[in-house]
Amino acid sequence: MRPQLQQSGLFRAITVASVLALSAGALGAPAALAQVQGGELVVVQGSNPPSLDAMVTSSQASRNINMNMYETLYGFSEDVRPIPILAEGVEISDDGLTYVFTLRQGVLFHNGKEMTSEDVKASLERYRVVGATANKLDPVREIEVTGPYEVTFHMVAPTPTFLESFSSPRAPAVIIPAEDAEAEAGRTSLIGTGPYRFVEFVPDSHVTIERFDDYTADTRHDGVDGFGGRKTAYLDRVIFRIIPEPGAQVAALEAGEVHIVEQMPMPAARRLADSPDITLYENMPWAFTTFHLNLNVPPTDNVKFREAVQVALDMEAIMAISSEGLYQLNHGWQYPGTAYWAGDIGAEYYNLGDVDRAQELLAEAGYDGETFSILTDPNIPQHGRAAVVIAEQLNGVGINAVINQVDWPTALSIRLQDEGWNGWTLQMGIEPYLGPVGTIATLTSPARPHFVVPDPELDALYQELISGVTLEERQETFSRIQARMYEIFASIKIGDSGLMQAGRANVQGFIPFRFPRMHDVWLEG
């Protein structure tokens, strides 16, 4: 709090305010806020981004960084509606077979080139090949360039949910320069249109991005809105530091070496709740805690056995421990209070911890002590902790549950095998956020369902869901989906967990979201 510092801070604030006032033009100046230009902010996360080629990965560790560098035509607003970001808008024909996207003009890539419809077509064609969720473009028969700032999608069939799935940030269909269109996965020049641009990536150490001074802000908005809106980068640089050890992350935050901890351990959060140096940001709900069973191998190929697992589990104990206390009980496959919430369907099977009934069902299933192997990993702490509690509870009803704890990449490859595992603990973060289509897509064909063997009835319901014309129709379908989930007991919903984030008190403007938005954030003092 030395006077010179204050002065320079104020000086910078005035400069920024006047720049803003000039650039804001007719829209009126948001100069009342004391944003500070400059500075270097450090965000810490637990693992390396698998790729900085945003299309090819659906990993949170990548998204955290990539969504500051890249943008999509459409993306979700704060209240999860598709809004145009790089697009000016879209016109959908009455028969639902043509989508005409108009592009914003004057948007510059990090290499200084202007984005045109050629880039858009090239990017989306690349997405069809390398995109981690390339099937979201399956409803699109052809992408046609119909003007320098206009692209037309010709659809295979009307797909009412297309714009939502197209806007999904899970593995975002970002727009990159046409020159990168032929690049293999992970081989692009990492150029996007976002408010920050790539500087360097040192694996196991950090990723650095810097402000893109020629960023073309979306002036249709007054401020940030979800993945879009009017974005203003204040920071000179943002460093995403990789620190695997949660204790070390917290220590670095307390020491002031880092500014934001992307996932804060709850005991540390409780300890620091009153600290004047630390601000806590609670995100609730953030993810589904789920337990997926392998329908391809005994004993989990038997629906009676799976029902026994469902009724044996005491969800409250699993959630309290796996989330370290930041959770809500929820049997549903959507969050309470959202459009597709299906009410009490299935609640009678949830959070029972009923040993007697589980043992009856096991006897009915003819279970005779076969090994029940639970696949899990320590890298996402909720996974390993949930597995330990689940194993203990299943052992309690006489199931021979053992834990196979391997590192996260290994777990991901084992669960793609048809055999060798019975149960798999998984935090589903982005899917429930995307709504019912995003969630159920992971449990049905054409993707490989998390529970390995597709259920034809669930598959049919999914098709019905994505082609339902009105919201009411889709809600009704989703209710039947949830009912089906509690008939096949293939994936077990444990509960909803929250995400605690923490920042230094001098970090201003940070609003927690599905990724740490580094625009409209500044450092005070």
Partner 1 sequence: MTADAGPAAAPPSLAREVARARRRRRQGFLKRLFGHPSFLIGFMILAAFTMTALLAEWLAPYGPTRINYRAILAPPSAEHWLGTDGFGRDILSRVIHGTQVSLRIGIYVVVLTGIMGTVLGTLASYVRWLDALIMRGLDGLMAFPGVLLAIALAAALGPSETNAMIALTVAFTPRTARVVRASVLVVQEMQYIEAARAVGAGHGRIVFRYILANALSPLIVQLTFVFAVSIIAEAILSFLGVGPPPPAPSLGNIIADGRSYVQEAWWIAVFPGIVIAVAVLGLNLMGDGLRDVLDPRQRLGRDGH
Q: Cα(first)–Cα(last) distance of the chain, in Å?
A: 8
Q: Which is nearer to partner 1, 150 or 324 (CB)?
A: 324
For partner 1, what does the binding mask look like between residues 452 and 491, x meaning CB under 8 A? ----------------------------------------
Using CB under 8 A as the binding rule, whether residue 414 contacts partner 1 is answered as no
Q: Give the SS3 label for residue 240.
A: strand
The window from 39-47, 177-185, 260-268, 494-502 that contacts partner 1 (CB under 8 A) reads 260-268
Using CB under 8 A as the binding rule, whether residue 163 contacts partner 1 is answered as no
Using CB under 8 A as the binding rule, whether residue 280 contacts partner 1 is answered as no
CB of 265 to partner 1, least distance (A): 6
Report the chain's C-alpha Rg in angstroms: 24
Using CB under 8 A as the binding rule, whether residue 125 contacts partner 1 is answered as no
Restricting to residues 389-408, which ones interact with partner 1 according to CB under 8 A? Answer: 389, 391-393, 403-406
Of 246, 353, 398, 498, the residue at the interface with partner 1 (CB under 8 A) is: 246
By CB atoms closer than 10 A (0-12, 13-18, 19+), residue 398 is middle
Among the listed residues 198, 181, 188, 199, the one whose alpha carbon sits nearest the alpha carbon of residue 68: 198
Report d(CA 353, CA 332) in Å as an integer. 18
The window from 27-35, 40-48, 206-214, 267-275 that contacts partner 1 (CB under 8 A) reads 267-275
Using CB under 8 A as the binding rule, whether residue 497 contacts partner 1 is answered as no
10 Å Cβ neighbour count for 139?
21
CB 199 within 8 A of CB 170: no
Of 41, 52, 65, 268, the residue at the interface with partner 1 (CB under 8 A) is: 268
Instruction: Please tell me what DSSP assigns to residue 174.
Output: B
CB of 110 to partner 1, least distance (A): 38
CB of 314 to partner 1, least distance (A): 8
Chain-centroid distance of CA 243 in Å reads: 20
Size of the site for partner 1 (CB under 8 A): 29
Among the listed residues 505, 512, 524, 523, the one whose alpha carbon sits nearest the alpha carbon of residue 41: 523
Q: Which is nearer to partner 1, 20 or 406 (CB)?
A: 406
What is the helix (H) or strand (E) element at residue 440, kind and residue range?
A: helix 436-441
Of 265, 353, 398, 498, the residue at the interface with partner 1 (CB under 8 A) is: 265
Report d(CA 106, CA 102) in Å as an integer. 13
Using CB under 8 A as the binding rule, whether residue 420 contacts partner 1 is answered as no
CB of 385 to partner 1, least distance (A): 7
Among the listed residues 320, 428, 416, 425, the one whose alpha carbon sits nearest the alpha carbon of residue 373: 425
Of 384, 408, 460, 464, the residue at the interface with partner 1 (CB under 8 A) is: 384
10 Å Cβ neighbour count for 165?
23
The window from 39-47, 139-147, 265-273, 294-302 that contacts partner 1 (CB under 8 A) reads 265-273
Using CB under 8 A as the binding rule, whether residue 92 contacts partner 1 is answered as no
CA distances from 29 to 107, 151, 234 (A): 22, 33, 16
Of 87, 250, 311, 458, the residue at the interface with partner 1 (CB under 8 A) is: 250
Using CB under 8 A as the binding rule, whether residue 113 contacts partner 1 is answered as no
Of 30, 96, 378, 398, the residue at the interface with partner 1 (CB under 8 A) is: 378
| Phi and psi torsions of 503, nearest 5° | -140, 160
* Cβ-Cβ contacts under 8 Å for 255 (sequence gap 6 or more): none
Of 206, 383, 385, 450, the residue at the interface with partner 1 (CB under 8 A) is: 385
Of 20, 284, 388, 412, the residue at the interface with partner 1 (CB under 8 A) is: 388
Among the listed residues 286, 251, 302, the one whose alpha carbon sits nearest the alpha carbon of residue 272: 251
CB 211 within 8 A of CB 523: no
Q: Which is nearer to partner 1, 134 or 321 (CB)?
A: 321
Using CB under 8 A as the binding rule, whether residue 263 contacts partner 1 is answered as no
Q: How many residues are listed for the chain in this entry?
A: 525
CB of 317 to partner 1, least distance (A): 4
* Structure token digits, residue 321: 């421990």
Restricting to residues 291-330, which ones interact with partner 1 according to CB under 8 A? Answer: 316-317, 320-321, 324-325
| Planar angle of CA 332, 285, 168, nearest 5 degrees | 85
* Cβ-Cβ contacts under 8 Å for 275 (sequence gap 6 or more): none
CB of 359 to partner 1, least distance (A): 19
Binding residues for partner 1 (CB under 8 A): 245-247, 250, 265, 267-268, 270-271, 316-317, 320-321, 324-325, 378, 381, 384-385, 387-389, 391-393, 403-406
